[in-house]
Amino acid sequence: MEFNNAVAKAHKSGVLWLGFNGLSSSDFETIAQALDATAHQEEEEDGREYRPRKCRRLEGVAALAASLRGAKDIWKFNVVGNTAIGDEGMQHLRLLPPCIRDLDLSDCGLKVEGIKTVLEYMRTNTSITRLIMWGNDTDKLNEAKCWTNLLQENDTLEELCINPGGCTSIPPSACVGLAFGLHKNKRLRILTLSNNIGDEEDTFLKHKSVLFARSFLQNTTLEKIEFGICRDKMALYMWEQTLEKNQTLLSVGVYTNKMEHYLDLNAVQARRLFQEDSNQEQWENAVVQAAKRTTKRQGDLTGFHALYYLLRNEPGFLISFMKQH
């Protein structure tokens, strides 16, 4: 394994990217120890600028660890695709220094126990603001308490991705735990769940929808949430109504093949257009699309809800719009 480029980038930008290098759990431990030692080492007396060079007597991860000397400003640590790290590697998370603010453990072969270890570590962590864990077995951890404790007790995490990947979905109890956790969370801004949170056959979906809807009312920091595929019309309608009252959420990623009208325009997208002070043409296109969608679907008031939100926030817009159309 050759890490010269990764080390040079780490010294220059503070980003240590070691993705898809076949790292093992012991390799992860070695690197974590090196990062911790580097973060606590005393300043070099001569203050010379780092210049990458090969460690002739060392190779592989050992050479990498030695080459990290002097890289005191590493803030982003990415080990995506190293599936051999596994659950055992997560036992060494506490070796990571406080300077690490961005941690990517995607596709690292984490099973239920490994994910539990990560969540337990994050409960008391006070430095990491971004945690990405897609491609692991988060769909197997069907325990509400783990997720609730994470969101209620951690006060630094701003972005969390737990998408297991593929067509798998976050289990019911996990969704309940996340929803309850969002009630009291005062920091999280971005939450990415999964590619699928259920359909009409998911008897638990209705309860999850109610809990998330209530969380949207209570939470004052969340700006973006990605749900993935959802085919429950009542769930989407419930969120639509709730989101009009939430003043911080700007983006809801809900993909569906049955209710395309929710994709194109909803109250959240309308608020985003309004808050970003978009140009007149964008406003007009949004209103036209909302009106067309409503007229095509008899009895469907979704377009009217969005149209109402757009117009009530810009008193002079209705007059301008009618003059041009």
DSSP 8-class letter at 156 = S
Own/partner long-range contacts of 297-304 (Cβ < 8 Å, ≥24 apart): 297/261, 300/261, 302/237, 302/240, 302/261, 302/262, 302/266, 303/261, 303/265
| Confidence (pLDDT) at 217 | 84
Q: Specify the 3-state DSSP secondary structure of 244.
A: coil
- pTM of the predicted structure, to 2 decimals: 0.77
Average pLDDT, the chain: 77
pLDDT in tens, 250-260: 666 665 444 44
Return the sign of the alpha-carbon dihedral for residues 108, 129, 160, 5: negative
d(CA 190, CA 221): 9
pLDDT in tens, 82-136: 999 999 999 999 999 999 999 999 999 999 999 999 999 999 999 999 999 999 9
Q: Which of 49-58, 144-153, 237-246 has the lowest mean pLDDT?
A: 49-58
d(CA 42, CA 90): 28
Q: Which residues pair with 225 in a beta bridge?
A: 191, 252
| Confidence (pLDDT) at 132 | 97
Angle at 98 between CA 92 and CA 99, to 5 degrees: 115
Give the number of other CB atoms < 10 A from CB of residue 82. Answer: 24
Task: Provide mean pLDDT across the span 294-313.
Answer: 51
Query: What would you report as the CA-atom Rg of the chain, rounded to the nearest whole angstrom?
Result: 24
**pLDDT score of 176 more than 90:** no
Give every CB contact of residue 101 below 8 A, 6+ residues apart in sequence: 75, 76, 127, 128, 129, 130
Phi, psi of 130 (to 5 degrees): -135, 120
Task: Provide mean pLDDT across the span 204-228.
Answer: 77
What domains can be seen in the chain, in order of their start residue? 110-259 (3.80.10.10), 278-325 (no CATH)
With a pLDDT cut of 70, the percent of the chain lying above it is: 61
